[in-house]
Amino acid sequence: MNKITLSEIAKKLNISVATVSRVMNQKTPITNDIHKEIIRLAKEGGYLQNPLNGNIGNIGFALIGLLNETTNPIEYNLGYNTSSFYGRLTFGLEKPVNELNGNLLVKNFDKTPNIWKEIDNFINTGNLSGLVVSVNGEFNDIQKFNNLLPTVLINHYEGFTPFIDTVASSNFAGIKKVFDYLISLGHEKIALWKPSYKYIHDQNRLYSYYTCLDYYNISYKKIYCDYSEKTSVSILDRMDVEFQKYLKDKDKPTAIICTNDTFAYVLCQLAKKYNVRIPQDLSITGFDDLDIISMPTPRITSVNSHLSLMGKHAIHLLSKRINDNTREHIQITIEPELVIRDTVGKAQMTEKINFL
């Protein structure tokens, strides 16, 4: 027998779904007979049963800012979308939801003035008992989800939102593992290639790059493709121009760390275009270990963020939050893994620096 839904409770009591949701999520004190009746119907209908032992219900996966072409133009220009990245996240969510006899509903939201109305409609029409939210780019109103229903934020960098349950992979640990590997191969001129648009992860990986330079007492510092001005020139053309700057540079890096796999892929194609040997002349690494970079020749060394594992932990947190919405918020940080392939080799250098 399926458990009662928020909409069914609201219909029985002739009240709004929003009122039921506020009471169920303990945002409204149980002070009157209507509130008590909501709780009674929820218990009798199985809504308040322990989700770990029963039906977790309908879980929404809200992807915010993913479909906006201007937000992520590089994938559109390449004819490549982020299905691999978000596909892994979705798979990681769907498996434990199925094990808890629930359903996963996925919806994309653009960052428009109507976004909260659309999210509220998603919650009500889907009879959702909980939400997993992933934000692409900047979004300043995440705390509002706490007023709607149990929510877990997934794939934000660690320590970002102490007011909500989060699951993320450590960007710093990933960048540091890349540094450790490059340094072990004699690289002392390590550059970073980051996008012109501002993603939270890219910014965090930029700060991690600076931190690693300080940690290893490396004076060499170089950032490629760090544009802030708006231009009509496509990202691919700008990357080509930037790569030509690298070719003319008298103090070239021996390795370039890319803040995502798409950029690492494009750099490898540019290297072929300009007869730069990978990894003999230049070592390149990516980040996230998406499917696209394990197939080209050379296969790209990258940081695996364990996206499916993020999904598993997110549903575990969400099931506990649904069962007890008064518990303290938890931030889970997953240790990433460096996947070594073909695009990193020993540095071509004449002398070696001892790093602290």
Q: Look at residues 316, 180, 189 and name the one whose alpha carbon lies nearest to residue 249.
A: 189
Three-state DSSP class for residue 123:
helix
Query: What are the tens digits of pLDDT across the range 144-183?
Result: 888 889 999 998 765 556 688 999 999 999 999 999 999 9
Identify the pLDDT of residue 47. 65
CB hemisphere CA count around 112 (13 angstroms): 10
Mean pLDDT of 30-58: 70
What residues form DSSP beta bridges with 304? 337
- Look at residue 197 and tell me whether its pLDDT is greater than 60: no
pTM for the full predicted model: 0.77
- Look at residue 142 and tell me whether its pLDDT is greater than 70: yes
Q: Name the least confident of 161-165, 226-230, 328-332.
A: 226-230
Q: Above pLDDT 90, what percent of the chain? A: 47
Residues 6 or more apart whose Cβ sits within 8 Å of residue 204:
157, 171, 172
Asked if the bond preceding 298 is cis, omega within 30° of 0, the reply is yes
Identify the pLDDT of residue 232. 67
Query: What are the tens digits of pLDDT across the range 79-88?
Result: 444 457 788 8
Three-state DSSP class for residue 125:
helix
Q: How many Cβ atoms are within 10 Å of 299's Cβ, its own excluded?
A: 15
Distance, CA of 288 to CA of 338 (rounded, Å): 9
- Look at residue 71 and tell me whether its pLDDT is greater than 50: no
Q: Look at residues 78, 61, 58 and name the one whose alpha carbon lies nearest to residue 69.
A: 78
Which domains does the chain possess? 6-169+307-336 (3.40.50.2300), 171-305 (3.40.50.2300)
